[in-house]
Amino acid sequence: MKEKIIDGKLVASKIKAKITAEINNIKMNNYRTPKLCVIQVGNNVASSTYIKNKKIACEKVGILFSLLKYPATITEKELIEHIMTLNNDPDVDGILVQLPLPDHIDTNKIIDAIDVLKDVDGFSSHVLGNLMINKTKVVPATPKGIMSLFNYYNIDLVGQHVVIVGRSNIVGKPLANLTINAHATVTVCHSKTNNLSYYTKQADILVMAVGKPKMLTKEMIKENVIIIDVGTNRDKNNKLCGDVYFDDVYSKVKMISPVPGGVGPMTIASLLENIMHLYELHNK
Ligand code: GUN
């Protein structure tokens, strides 16, 4: 039954092995090593965990990692000045401002202050605009990772009905553009969608990115659907779980990405790919 599982951990390990080999080659030739700088504002616990995971992943493959921490009271102007310093530092390939930022800071303004060629998250209006017209290689990490899973498992999107539940700027919206560019027919649902099941039942490929533990049950899907679960939640027993009630839907699906071990590892691997892509652009 294992062949039903979309194994993000496996695909991510292959991507990371390839990057490790590339970095070894860079180091053997005494070239400059790729470097990621992460900016953290305040002390959000979840953010600290995400950042720690990014640090571990960078260090494992040999990418330099630097964390710049600022107090939650920092002004927008000060934060932009720090970003400008990194924009002008030739040793820095990628700048990542960990979100969310405190309420007094305009997130879009901060992201758009990052040099387009260092926007490793791909969250700036410039990069997202390019993604819409199919013109960029830096793609937000989670949707990029999902596209890599489709590619690895030879899941052809042409003419397929992809239903995405979730419309965030980080996942739902960019993924809608990527799947449209891959010739799927795309429906985007969200928290205000009336009669959600009407749409999820029509999906050939269903992407759940809402953040509600185990909300998708077998009554909401058709037989042989392919499910990608982006949710990272805790269930009643504090166990990690997705937006999909995995045990309930499993017998009905064609394939499914589990939580943990599905999209999560792919997000990190895709971030590493983005750093490498920006590094290549800087060395051209
Ligand atoms: N907060 C939650 N996910 C992300 C991410 O992928 N990038 C950044 N910068 N912040 C986040």
Q: Is residue 20 part of a domain?
A: no
- Cα angle for residues 45, 48, 211 (degrees, 5° grid): 65
- The annotation status of 166 as a binding-site residue, yes or no, is yes
- Residue 260: cis peptide before it, omega within 30 degrees of 0: yes
H or E segment to which residue 269 belongs:
helix 263-282
Q: Is residue 100 part of a domain?
A: yes
Q: What is the CATH number of the domain that holds 204?
A: 3.40.50.720
Residue 92: CA atoms inside 13 Å, Cβ hemisphere, count?
25
Domain count of the fold of the chain: 2
Could you tell me the pLDDT band of residue 1, with boundaries at 50, 70 and 90? low
Q: Is residue 280 part of a domain?
A: no
Look at residue 274 in the predicted model and tell me its pLDDT.
Answer: 98
Shared domain check, 243 and 153: yes
Shared domain check, 147 and 106: no
Shared domain check, 260 and 145: yes
Q: CB–CB of 66/35 below 8 Å? A: yes
Is 98 a residue of the active site? yes
Q: How many angstroms separate the alpha carbon of residue 53 from the centre of ligand 1?
A: 12
Q: Is residue 158 part of a domain?
A: yes
Q: Minimal CA–CA distance to 250: which of 5, 72, 61? A: 5
Q: Is residue 157 part of a domain?
A: yes
Q: Is residue 269 part of a domain?
A: no
Cβ–Cβ contacts within 10 Å for residue 231, how many? 24
Output the CA–CA distances (angstroms, integers) from residue 245 to 35, 57, 61, 78, 212, in the order listed.
39, 29, 34, 45, 10
Shared domain check, 157 and 101: no
| pLDDT digits 0-9 by tens, 71-103 | 999 999 999 999 999 999 999 999 999 999 999
Shared domain check, 167 and 232: yes
Nearest ligand 1 atom to the CA of 267 is 6
| pLDDT digits 0-9 by tens, 108-164 | 999 999 999 999 999 999 999 999 999 987 999 999 999 999 999 999 999 999 999
pTM over 0.95: yes
Last residue of a domain, one of 98, 115, 132: 115
Shared domain check, 161 and 104: no
Is 89 a residue of the active site? no
Q: What is the CATH number of the domain that holds 80?
A: 3.40.50.10860
Q: Which domain covers residue 241, as residue numbers?
A: 141-264
Shared domain check, 149 and 248: yes
- Pocket around ligand 1: residues whose beta carbon is below 6 Å from it? 50, 96-99, 121, 141, 170
Shared domain check, 146 and 259: yes
Is 55 a residue of the active site? no
Q: Is residue 224 part of a domain?
A: yes
Shared domain check, 258 and 153: yes
Q: CB–CB of 188/164 below 8 Å? A: yes
Shared domain check, 174 and 71: no
Q: How many angstroms separate the alpha carbon of residue 99 from the centre of ligand 1?
A: 5
Could you tell me the pLDDT band of residue 284, with boundaries at 50, 70 and 90? confident
Q: How far apart are CA 260 and CA 51, in angstroms?
A: 18
Cβ–Cβ contacts within 10 Å for residue 257, how many? 28
Q: What is the overall mean pLDDT for the chain?
A: 97
| Tokens 């996942």 sit on residue | 171
Q: How far apart are CA 230 and CA 122, in angstroms?
A: 18
Shared domain check, 173 and 219: yes
| pLDDT digits 0-9 by tens, 222-262 | 999 999 999 999 999 999 999 999 999 999 999 999 999 99
Shared domain check, 186 and 88: no
Nearest ligand 1 atom to the CA of 170 is 6
- The annotation status of 232 as a binding-site residue, yes or no, is yes
| pLDDT digits 0-9 by tens, 11-32 | 999 999 999 999 999 999 999 9
Q: For a ligand 1 pocket test, name from 105, 121, 268, 273 the mutation site with the most ligand atoms within 8 angstroms of its C-beta.
A: 121
Q: Is residue 179 part of a domain?
A: yes
